[in-house]
Amino acid sequence: MLYKVRVESAARDNGRAIATALAELIEPAAQAVSEFAVGGGWHIEAYYNQRPDLVQLSARIAELLAICPPTLSLEQVADQNWVALSQTALPPVAAGRYIVHGSHDRTSVPRGPRSIEIDAGEAFGTAHHATTLSCLMTIDRLARTRAFQQVLDLGCGSGVLAIAAQRAWPRARVTALDNDPTAVAVAAANCRQNGVSRIAVRLASDSGPPLAACRTYELVLANILARPLIALAPAIARALAPGGILVISGILAGEARELRAAYAARGFRLASESCMAGWTTLTLVRVPLRTRPKSARRVGPWPAPRPARSRVRAGARRSG
């Protein structure tokens, strides 16, 4: 048997934040989370393998989101693939030029280069999560003024960002990379379904070259989490060409300062910053070495010393 937790929210942003907390920020994480518009509010359902403590769960949501403890209800349900079933209830999402939808909406959404069909399964990325939506909107904005030949989607999940990039720049060579074999299989299937044959979908463990290559990519997309993004900063800096663009997300609002500092130390300049439902997306530019101030240049593999009085606050961690 599985256990279904229900909670209602009057505001859409609060509902999305609660759904994100249940799916990503509270341990144990829910196996599947669904959001529904009900009347003038939002209805969230989360599925668990073991019976959760509602009092503790409500208190944890309140603590993370700085809201009053929400009222939760619990019921037992039959054991099914709730990850797949929950996604069949997700409506199409408009993100800039794109309309992202599941296979259940195939007949109701017009086909074309702006339509992206995604069945994420157990991989992340349906455009219903604020981080994915924000990245898609950033790709849309970049496509209006920039052209790229080499694009990397790092931590590709369902492959939705790689597919969006290929649609925006049809002549680009796009690499989709993930360390989860399930995500790689899902991304490859979604690429086939969307007819984008130029995307190379690779497993990170046996794909050293994409990040080991020096100054190869003109655009890197990384919608993962703050801790991995900080750890990957040196490798991303090596892989991105001077003047290249980096779009990073999966960053809680309170973590943005630390991410900005980590990438500034690697020669990146902030181009834009957006916040959606408590999640931040940063667009950064890899500054050519000759244009950086002397204090930002490095002559060895060791990290640049920090100013004696600077302090960077540590962050926290991050379905669709």
User: What pLDDT tens digit does each residue of the chain (320 aa) get?
Assistant: 788 899 998 887 788 788 888 877 788 888 777 777 777 788 888 888 889 999 999 999 999 888 899 999 999 876 555 455 555 556 778 888 888 887 767 677 767 778 899 875 554 556 677 889 899 999 999 999 999 999 999 999 999 999 999 999 999 999 999 998 988 999 999 999 999 988 999 998 654 455 655 668 999 999 998 999 999 999 999 999 999 999 999 998 889 999 999 999 999 999 999 998 788 999 999 998 665 555 444 433 434 444 444 333 334 444 46
- Burial, 35: exposed, middle or buried (Cβ in 10 Å; 0-12, 13-18, 19+)? buried
What's the number of CA atoms in the CB half-sphere (13 Å) around residue 113? Answer: 8
DSSP-derived secondary structure letter, 188: H
**Whole-number pLDDT of residue 314:** 37
**Whole-number pLDDT of residue 42:** 83
**Whole-number pLDDT of residue 315:** 40
**Whole-number pLDDT of residue 137:** 94
Residue 156 structure tokens = 């590709």
**Whole-number pLDDT of residue 106:** 66
Edge-to-edge, what's the strand order for the sheet holding 240-252? 199-203, 173-178, 150-154, 217-223, 240-252, 279-286, 268-276
**Whole-number pLDDT of residue 305:** 42
Round to whole Å and give the CA distance between 260 and 267. 11
Round to whole Å and give the CA distance between 162 and 173. 10
- Burial, 22: exposed, middle or buried (Cβ in 10 Å; 0-12, 13-18, 19+)? buried
Query: Which residue's entry shows tokens 């190379």?
Result: 200
Round to whole Å and give the CA distance between 84 and 106. 16
Residue 217 structure tokens = 């990519």
CB contact at 8 A, 117 and 101? yes
CB contact at 8 A, 126 and 100? yes
**Whole-number pLDDT of residue 251:** 92
Q: Tell me the domains of the chain and their CATH numbers.
A: 2-82 (3.30.70.120), 93-296 (3.40.50.150)
Those residues with Cβ within 8 angstroms of residue 118's Cβ, 6 or more apart along the chain or in another chain: 100, 101, 102, 125, 126, 127, 158, 159, 160, 163, 190
Altogether, the residues listed in the chain come to a count of 320
CB contact at 8 A, 229 and 222? yes
pTM, two decimal places: 0.67
